Structure 1
Amino acid sequence: MDRKERILAFMREDAYKPLLFNELVMVLDVPKSDIELFRQVLEELEREGKIFKTHKNRYGVPERMSLIVGRLQGNERGYGFVIPDDETFDDIFIPADGLNGAMHNDRVIARYTKKVIGDRSAEGEIIRILDRANKTVVGIFESSRYFGFVVPDDRRISGDIFVPKDEFNGAKSGDKVVVEIVKWPEKRRNAEGKVIEVIGNVNDPGTDIVSIIKSFKLNETFPDDVLAQADKIPDTVTEDMLKGRR
């Protein structure tokens, strides 16, 4: 059993109560020479969402603390659902005021605020964001005299992205752009970004195709061997190719 598994197994024991770092060092009999390594392992487990550190600096596993780790599925109406990593748990409804800066597809930790009642889903709020999914966003740029904003193509990303005037980088109203997020949203503030690429005007031919490629982060070029194979395909259909076909 490696270090991580040993720590997790210990914290999952029925008798375990969340402990401070120094208490864990003592109980797990961590040698003085390994204390810094032990701290790093705890930090890794915390980043992975496998353990949770409370505001009182006590460590435990989320499932023993009524917390759910999963991925946020946004909705264009502003609310979302946390899809738990553990498929034995049901999805949790997150109202707009419970997102706390989380965006569609972020990996998060949620806390229950309301249990299941009848046919209604459990309700919760995001208390920690483990991993941001939307470093860049594709959308339509709109400008005003003093600032601009990007309306995301993916409407599951709720809230327009604010763009300061000195970060337009040549974008004009009606352009499809790629914006890089430089400040994540907070409870009462939209995300802030800068335009890093102007794809083209929304009405220009081909803009929609490139926008989809950028949104899904698909490759825009093909490997040399694929291009070489494509070059071997004839431009016309021969009689031999038609044999056996109806």
Structure 2
Amino acid sequence: MSKHIKAKKKTKQKLSNKIIRLFQEQPQLQANYKQIAGKLAVTNKATRNLIVEVLEEMAKNNIISEVSRGKYKLNIKNTYLTGKITMHSQGYAHCISEDYKDPVFVAHRNLHCALDGDLVKIFLLPLKKGKEPEGIVSEIIERSRKKIVGTIQLTKSFAFLVPDNRKIPYDIFIPPDKLPENIENNMKATIRIIEWTRKMKNPIGEIINVLGYAGDNETEQHAILEEFELPYTFSKAVKQEANKISKKIPEQEIAKRKDYRNILTFTIDPVDAKDFDDAISYRKLKNGNIEIGVHIADVSYYVRQNNILDKEAYLRGTSVYLVDRVIPMLPETLSNNLCSLRPNEDKLTFSVLFEFDSKDFHIVNHHFYKTIIRSNRRFHYDEVQEILDKEKGDLFAELKQINEITQAIRKKRFDDGALSFERTEIKFKLDKEGKPLDIIFKETNQAHQLIEELMLLANKYVATKFNIYEKKHRNSSFVYRVHDKPDQEKLRSFAQFIKQFGYKLN
């Protein structure tokens, strides 16, 4: 293809986008090529002639209609979609819409100031054979982010912020009058966009928070929190509500629960765990069988529906674990104190109690209770594994029997077709300043499997109980965590991929 033909094609593409934008901004517009050239300020004769060609092609592709000789209007029907933008690091994007089965490609030049996650209205271009659907952003309905985190680069006359998020392919221009006095080159900061029009190459922003020097651990951790809009402090009202909760459990509440405070109970967690939300109990029954209890902290006793703590937890959704800190879902008074199953403290729990046959370890019976427990001991995983390996140590006999039972459960689970996704968890050993000193590879051992199997077993029985309940009570509902059936097209693609290595799917 000659340079002239390439240049002409590029000019026509630009004209097409401008004409579409013109019709989008004035949906009732009916105009001929001269009127369109005037509105686009095109005076060059050759370019005006190209407008005629572009209009004819657009009419042929059903983007516009010829309402009278040489006069056109936009075909509005079925040309617009609403969806969310997913940016790619290369600068282009896709729009995901519930009203359209396929992602719609949006070229960088057609984003028109849209950013990753924005809810937008797009103009759907005619589908070309062999190409994916393509569209042009015509309106930003709602911005997904109110602030952007990045590194400040200073020049003599202005500054700009280079975003940490690679899905934001624009540097943010910061005018001198929007720079705080304490700002320095290579500092991390949070900005908000204050101006950005389609005619502007880069957005204009102002700094709302200076985080510190790039590379400093505290700065980088706060940058992560800002980037993902994670609230790392609680409001005064939330703290006050948490602090009002009495640490003493009322006798009338204890009377409602099954009392397991005199049954051997302990927790097994990572060595650096701060909150202990599950525990197990063990005892031999008079009939010779073994009872193992799985106890989960009863947070609902302290966090009542629709109170300020419940609303705060709803907004946060989960606790977030970073390399050197935890951003809890609930204030520390609850997460690390009242609802943490710490040793030698009375705690309220939900419990599933399993009775195992002492010979072949099959489940003879099970019960669900609200309980009160008192943990006797806090273990960490490596400690339990060492006791099992050396066959001696605190509670060896009990741990040995629980391990034998959970290994039997595990074997049956895999015999029944369960899949094992083995993965190595990585942890970092940090110094006081948060700089990494070493990488620790955590491998799953029998101590991990002991807890894993009991938690899976409890979840299975709880889900089964509610499934039976739902069948009897049609208006009830329960949240299940499930894995959907595999996509057949992806399975076929995967089968073709592994075939080259000598494998096949049954």
1:72 touches 1:106 (CA, 8 Å); kept in 2? yes
Q: 1:151: Cα distance to partner?
A: 0.9
2:377 aligned with 1:240, yes or no?
yes
Please give the alpha-carbon distance, in whole angstroms, between the structure 2 residues aligned to 1:202 and 1:182: 24
Q: Deviations over 1:101-156 (max 9, x none)?
A: 212211111112341422x3111111111112232111111110111111111111
d(CA) in 1 for partners of 2:76, 2:220: 43
Q: Which one of 149, 154, 170 corresponds to residue 143 of structure 1? A: 154
Aligned length: 188
User: Among 86, 93, 106, which residue is 1:80 paired with?
Assistant: 93
**Aligned equivalent of 1:71, options 68, 77, 84:** 84
In the alignment, is the contact (CA less than 8 A) between 1:179 and 1:197 conserved in 2?
yes
Summarize the Cα distance change of 1:128–1:67 in structure 2 as closer, same or farther, 3 Å threshold.
Answer: same
Pairs within 5 Å for 1:86-97: 86=99, 88-97=100-109
Aligned match for 2:332, one of 227, 233, 236: 227
What does residue 127 of structure 1 align with?
A: 138
Moved more, 151-160 or 182-191: 182-191
Correspondences of 1:4-15 after superposition (within 5 Å): none
Contact 1:171 1:195 in 2 (8 A): no
Q: For 2:79, give the aligned amino acid.
A: S
Given the alignment of the two structures, is residue 212 of structure 1 paired with residue 233 of structure 2, yes or no? no
CA shift digits 1:11-70 (9 cap, x unpaired): xxxxxxxxxxxxxxxxxxxxxxxxxxxxxxxxxxxxxxxxx996329xxxx994311110
- Aligned-pair identity (%): 25
Per-residue CA distance 1:174-205 (angstroms, 9 max, x = gap): 11100011012524421100111011111212
* Distance (Å, rounded) in 2 between the aligned partners of 1:53 and 1:144: 38
Name the SS for the 1:241 alignment partner: strand
- The CA deviation string for residues 77-119 of structure 1, in whole angstroms up to 9 with x for no partner, is 2211111132x4311111111111212211111112341422x
Query: Taking structure 1 as reference, are residues 187 and 121 closer, same or farther at Cα in structure 2, changes over 3 Å only?
Result: farther
- Equivalent residue, structure 2, for 1:49: none
1:44 match: none
SS of the residue corresponding to residue 162 of structure 2 reads strand
AA paired with 2:163?
P
**Aligned twin of 2:115:** 103
Q: Provide the rounded CA distance (Å) in 1 between the counterparts of 2:159 and 2:126.
A: 38
What secondary structure is seen at the aligned counterpart in 1 of 2:125? strand
Q: Supply the AA of the counterpart residue of 2:134.
A: E
Find the counterpart in structure 2 of residue 168 from structure 1: 179
C-alpha distance in structure 1 between counterparts of 2:122 and 2:168, whole Å: 18
Kindly indicate which of the two structures has a greater share of residues assigned to helix: 2
Larger Rg: 2
Quote the Cα distance in structure 2 between the aligned partners of 1:80 and 1:190. 17
Given that residues 102 and 185 in structure 1 are in contact (C-alpha distance below 8 angstroms), is that contact kept between their aligned partners in structure 2?
no
* Structure 1 unaligned residues grouped into runs of 5+: 1-51
Q: Does structure 2 conserve the Cα–Cα contact (< 8 Å) formed by 1:97 and 1:187?
A: no
Residue of structure 1 aligned with 2:196, choices 184, 188, 194: 184
Aligned residue for 2:210? Answer: 198
- Equivalent residue for 1:157? 168
Q: Which runs of 5+ in 2 are unaligned?
A: 1-23, 30-74, 243-330, 344-374, 380-394, 400-446, 448-506
SS of alignment partner, residue 103 of structure 1: coil
1:30 counterpart residue number: none
Question: Take 1:54 and 1:143, find their aligned partners in 2: how far apart are those partners?
Answer: 41
CA RMSD of aligned residues (A): 2.7
* Pairs within 5 Å for 1:8-47: none
